[in-house]
Amino acid sequence: MARKVYSLCFMCTVRCPIEVEVEGARVLWIQGNPHVGGIEGSLCPKGVAGIALMEDDQRLKYPLIRTGPRGSGEFRKASWDEALDYVSGRLKEIIERYGGQSVVLGERANLATHVSKTFLRAIGSPNYFSHDALCKGSVNTACRSLFGYTDAEIGIDYANTKHLILYGRNLFEAVEVKGVNNVLDAMAKGAKLTYIDPRVTTTALKAHRYWMIRPGTDLALNYGLMHVILKEGLYDQEFVERWVLGLKELRELVEPYTPQWAEEETGIPQKEIVDLARELGEQRPNVIFHYGYRGAHYKNEIYLRRSILMLNVLMGSVETKGGIFFKKGPGEVGRKAPRKLTDQEGLPKVSQVRFDKVGTEAFPLPDPNHGVPQMLARAILSEDPYPIKALIVNRFEPLHSIPEQSTTKEALGKLDLIVTVDVNFSDIAWYSDVVLPESMYLERLDPVQQANGLKPQLFLRQKAVEPRYDTREYAVIIKELAKRLGLERYFPYESMEELVKWQLEGTGFTMEDFMKKGFVAYTDNQIFWDRKDGLRLKTPSKKIEFKSSLLEERGFSSFPPYEKVKRPERDTFRLVVGRCVLHTHVSTQNNPYLNERLSENILWINGKRAKELGIQNGSLVEISSSVGSGTIKAFVTDLIHPDCVFLLHGFGHESKGLGRAYNKGISDAMLQENITDMVGGSPGLHETFVKISPLRRQL
Ligand SMILES: Nc1nc2c(c(=O)[nH]1)N[C@H]1C(S)=C(S)[C@@H](COP(=O)(O)OP(=O)(O)OC[C@H]3O[C@@H](n4cnc5c(=O)[nH]c(N)nc54)[C@H](O)[C@@H]3O)O[C@H]1N2
Ligand SMILES: Nc1nc2c(c(=O)[nH]1)N[C@H]1C(S)=C(S)[C@@H](COP(=O)(O)OP(=O)(O)OC[C@H]3O[C@@H](n4cnc5c(=O)[nH]c(N)nc54)[C@H](O)[C@@H]3O)O[C@H]1N2
Ligand code: SF4
Ligand SMILES: [Mo]
């Protein structure tokens, strides 16, 4: 008899709630959880491909220990005891000789992040990092500079908006299912969509207004918009007067940036800029300037993201329906959140300088809870601030997710120990000394997800089927390592059930409560703070700081004048990258189902420029930057701005363990220079210029 299990998708990080139909050891069907508003059965194509991942015989099946040279792919199968004894033995030696700080653990932040952080604190290392800075570090810093809250503590009420403005937030391809459904619902009720991107994406096709902006000039557009909004008094004066610190300074800053000036820089007609400002003046406060999901485009990223957030504030679209809001947690209704291992009293605090120097004068502003991974290779190679000897990687791919792959490879070569926890035979797994396979998401129970929002809720990734191979849950793997290092006192569980029960103590919920619908809610009502007097801002002034103490106390300007962007010359282009609806970053290219749909990337290039260079649609071209080069098929099209070429992220895998994705397409990380927004923390993934030429000998 088939049964239904409520769980959370993990084909990407969005974690959409799902309903899994199971019969015996087989998953028959996965769909979105019908009980969750905005999901109601829907799933994206990658979510559907979860079954293909489960059944993939090329995924990691058992622990591996390397036998040949690094990168040779020569491993032997090991038992869990053998693999864990080996890793803990090597870690012990390294910690004794070089200290706990010589161990770095990096991961894509996930439900077990508190387990990773606990492990590092227990061994005396400050060196935890997540993917956050690579994805949106500067958005995080921008939010903290204005509101005192991180971006993770701020949400967007798409469903009730009257106008959504997206700056390269390609929502209909780089999806979150709930977001997409809510935007479609809002549009059905008459909401407008404005989309800005140098490339015509699916989202552009759905928009009422599309602007093919010159890449890198969004800040100029925003200064032009602000100029009109302030000059014509289109903003929410009551809200701004009550909450904003620094309006006068903003006014002075944008005074010279007329719409005409913005047109020259961005290529967007001035009349259209003025029209948008006036339209929003009518629709406010239920308008959203989307501050970005991936905010890692340019080296002035922090100021672009701040400007987008400031536009929301000017429109008064903060803590209002159809605008942006501050997420509410269980504390809001006098209840307790699930416990985290990091809450434990007695867990050591580590105060040493981090490998990336975040929190020091050299790099004061990025969020130390996440760190800055693109500094890893530099730190390993320079041994500054100290030698790093071991890297533990969980659900993260440093070879593709950090720019300048050649330098990352060089740095990895210097390490004494590389351990990877993954579900796929990723390139970093291929390069590791020990590979520890995690059970894929349908096969495991994970720590509790605390979903703060207008209504605080908890979700659970419940196990749908037993693991097919000799794999384990990450939190159990870490507990076993800690045990071998004599640190088990910080890990008060033997199994995932025990950990989840421990987390739920004091919340008023039990595991059984999740069986019925897959989630539990602390309240049924949406909570909005009073916009007149009740915004609990966490900035020092308790205001929305256009004039930011966070920035200015560290010597950074709150209102920098605009710097013109560099334009490409003759045969060079700005390299811009992004996602598509069929793949998740670098994870799914080997998925049997998704690989069949899309198995390699191609290079979008503007028709006129391609003609000048003698490049035909479908022909091979050489692409090279200062740090790497490769060969790729050209997609000649007028749907992209002439200044840039576009490459889908996630291809060019080198692991032969990925039988279907091996050597297909090229990696953007191989071409990108490692350039960072040193204020906000994100890499400038679109700051690299590449040279394109036709490949003379077509293969
Ligand atoms: N060059 C370049 N770098 C980028 C980006 C870019 O566009 N270009 N984008 C940036 C962005 S926005 C982000 S969010 C990051 C993402 O960076 P990553 O986290 O590195 O990318 P992912 O593809 O999400 O996942 C990485 C690994 O997780 C593994 N994995 C999948 N499921 C599981 C699981 O259940 N358990 C375990 N243990 N492992 C699992 C996958 O097999 C894969 O090897 O990259 C950033 N870096
Ligand atoms: N299918 C799928 N969905 C996903 C993910 C996934 O891997 N696959 N990943 C999730 C994650 S972690 C993230 S961070 C989000 C990413 O969500 P988005 O940020 O929406 O997605 P990207 O594809 O990274 O979008 C980059 C877009 O920015 C455009 N762009 C480039 N330069 C400029 C510029 O100067 N100005 C403007 N306005 N636009 C520019 C590019 O052409 C591209 O279309 O997606 C999430 N959803
Ligand atoms: S967006 Fe798609 S892949 Fe990501 S969690 Fe949701 S259903 Fe899964
Ligand atoms: Mo991301």
Q: Where are the domains of the chain?
A: 64-135+339-452+470-508, 155-325, 572-694
Substitution candidate for ligand 3 out of 33, 108, 176, 293 with most atoms within 8 A of CB: 176
**Positive/negative CA dihedral, 405, 409, 412, 418:** positive
Give 534: exposed, middle or buried? Use CB within 10 Å, 0-12, 13-18, 19+. Answer: exposed
Quote the pLDDT of residue 367: 97
> What's at 34, amino acid-wise?
P
Q: Which atom in ligand 2 lies closest to the alpha carbon of residue 196?
A: 38
CB 138 less than 6 A from any atom of ligand 1: no
Quote the pLDDT of residue 688: 98
552 neighbors 163 (Cβ within 8 angstroms)? no
Q: How far apart are CA 287 and CA 191, in angstroms?
A: 9
DSSP code string of 294-313 = S--S-TTHHHHHHHHHHHHH
**Ligand 3: residues within 6 Å at CB?**
9, 11-12, 14-16, 43-44, 46-47, 175-177
Neighbouring C-beta atoms of residue 660, cutoff 10 Å: 16
649 neighbors 665 (Cβ within 8 angstroms)? no
Mapping DSSP onto H, E and C, the string for 244-292 reads: EECHHHHHHHHCCCCHHHHHHHHCCCHHHHHHHHHHHHHHCCCEEEECC
Closest among 339, 283, 331, 291 to 311, alpha carbons compared? 291
DSSP helix/strand/coil, 138: helix
Find residue 689's DSSP bridge partners: 574
Q: How far apart are CA 486 and CA 342, in angstroms?
A: 18
Tokens of 275: 């029209």
H-run or E-run covering 574: strand 572-578
Quote the pLDDT of residue 199: 98
The owner of tokens 């770095």 is: 104
Beta-sheet pairing, 572-578 with 689-694: antiparallel
Quote the pLDDT of residue 82: 98
Q: 78-104 pLDDT, tens per residue?
A: 999 999 999 999 999 999 999 999 999
Nearest CA to ligand 1 atom 13: 135
DSSP code string of 508-560 = T--GGGGTTTSEEES-SS-----TTT-----STTSSEESS-HHHHTTT--SSP
585: left (phi over 0), alpha (psi -120 to 50) or beta: left
Quote the pLDDT of residue 58: 98
Quote the pLDDT of residue 570: 84
Tokens of 592: 């049997």
**Positive/negative CA dihedral, 411, 413, 419, 422:** positive
Neighbouring C-beta atoms of residue 269, cutoff 10 Å: 14
CATH match of 572-694 with 2.40.40.20: yes
For residue 118, what are the CA distances in angstroms to 89, 122, 450, 489, 498? 19, 6, 18, 11, 17
DSSP code string of 191-230 = -EEEEE-SB--HHHHH-SEEE-PPTT-HHHHHHHHHHHHH
Distance 395 CA to ligand 1 centre (A): 7
For residue 358, what are the CA distances in angstroms to 153, 229, 271, 283, 567? 21, 36, 43, 41, 32
Query: Which residues of the chain register pLDDT less than 70?
Result: 697-699
CB 438 less than 6 A from any atom of ligand 1: yes
Q: Which atom in ligand 1 lies closest to the alpha carbon of residue 474?
A: 38
Nearest CA to ligand 3 atom 8: 47
Fold of 64-135+339-452+470-508: Rossmann fold (3.40.50)
160 neighbors 328 (Cβ within 8 angstroms)? no
Q: 167-223 pLDDT, tens per residue?
A: 999 999 999 999 999 999 999 999 999 999 999 999 999 999 999 999 999 999 999
**Ligand sitting nearest the alpha carbon of 175:** 2
Cβ-based neighbours of 383, under 8 Å, separated by 6 or more: none
The owner of tokens 């069949």 is: 596
Cβ-based neighbours of 492, under 8 Å, separated by 6 or more: 498, 502
Substitution candidate for ligand 3 out of 46, 53, 459, 581 with most atoms within 8 A of CB: 46
**Ligand sitting nearest the alpha carbon of 301:** 2
Nearest CA to ligand 3 atom 4: 12
**Ligand sitting nearest the alpha carbon of 112:** 1
Quote the pLDDT of residue 1: 84
**Ligand 2: residues within 6 Å at CB?**
12-13, 135, 167-170, 174-175, 196-199, 201, 213, 215-216, 218, 293-294, 297, 576, 578-579, 581, 583-585, 646, 686
The CATH architecture one would assign to domain 155-325 is 3-Layer(aba) Sandwich (3.40)
